[in-house]
Amino acid sequence: AQSVAQPEDQVNVAEGNPLTVKCTYSVSGNPYLFWYVQYPNRGLQFLLKYITGDNLVKGSYGFEAEFNKSQTSFHLKKPSALVSDSALYFCAVRAPFTGGGNKLTFGTGTQLKVEL
Amino acid sequence: DVKVTQSSRYLVKRTGEKVFLECVQDMDHENMFWYRQDPGLGLRLIYFSYDVKMKEKGDIPEGYSVSREKKERFSLILESASTNQTSMYLCASSPPGTRTSTDTQYFGPGTRLTVL
């Protein structure tokens, strides 16, 4: 079975500082990894994904994530946080294609709060 | 842009009522999904469908059923609503995953259901 852990319920960071939102995963085979963001009273928006290739993946709004196979991690990062980045962030994993849809398993989410 | 719409943003129902949540996507996607989102639990998959009239149980199907009569529409049905089904319900769609790629899930805005 595949699973995702987001160890921090909330991350606080000052505007302009770098931010990291942590994610570790467990899956059989090479993982497909995703980050989504949810703003208040909205659905989830796709940020970035790792399928294969370069371990550093760049996504929307200046976010990037680093895939680390040995540590089974896929941490989300941004060099300089903005107040508008405050939102709920979800990490998700999928095992390689097994037929019949592409089910994702989501983490429990990390609330990011960026303060002035 | 992919658009996934859900029939209601907010819904209030009484215990024992039959509840229909509708989801429509406009990108001819094969896969459609229903999740529920609860604080501290993240997103949990209720049901998904990878083709018209096809459905598979997700992680928490009890108390729910689904219908997919047309490719663009995926309905979630609560046969007899209960208070523990009070939650945010999110619909998503995606093209089919393949052995060499995987595809992003696109989410609707969500329906916040309250069962009294």
Q: Is residue A35 pLDDT above 60, yes or no?
A: yes
Cβ–Cβ below 8 Å for A100 and B45? no
Q: What percent of chain B has pLDDT over 70?
A: 92
All domains of chain A in start order, with CATH: 3-115 (2.60.40.10)
Whether the CB of A89 is below 8 Å from some CB of chain B: the reply is: no
In the predicted model, is pLDDT for residue A107 greater than 80? yes
- Tokens representing B1? 């842009």
Q: What integer pLDDT is reported at residue A99 of this predicted model?
A: 54
Among A residues 23-52, those touching chain B with beta carbons less than 8 Å apart: 32, 34, 36, 41-46, 49, 51
- The answer to whether residue A103 scores a pLDDT higher than 90 is no
CB contact under 8 A, A43 and B99: no
Q: Which long-range contacts (CB under 8 A, 24 or more apart) does B97-102 make?
A: B97/A94, B97/A97, B97/A101, B97/A102, B97/B31, B98/A97, B99/A96, B99/A97, B101/A51, B102/A32, B102/A49, B102/A51, B102/A94, B102/A97, B102/A102
CB of B104 within 8 Å of a chain A CB? The answer is yes
Q: What is the pLDDT along chain B (116 residues), one digit of tens a residue?
A: 668 999 999 999 999 999 999 999 998 888 899 999 999 899 999 999 988 988 999 989 999 999 999 999 999 999 999 999 999 999 999 887 654 445 688 999 999 999 99
* pLDDT the model gives residue A40: 86
**Mutation for A interface: B104, B106, B112, most A CBs within 10 A:** B104
pLDDT per residue as tens digits for the range A43-59: 899 999 998 888 999 99
CA separation for the pair A60, A63 (Å, rounded): 6
Task: Report the percent of chain A where pLDDT is more than 70.
Answer: 94
Which of B42, B96, B102 is opposite residue A106, by nearest beta carbon?
Answer: B42
Work out whether strand B111-115 and strand B10-13 pair parallel, antiparallel, or are unpaired: parallel
Give the CATH number of domain B4-97. Answer: 2.60.40.10
Q: Which residues pair with A104 in a beta bridge?
A: none
Distance from CA of A43 to the nearest CA of B (A): 4
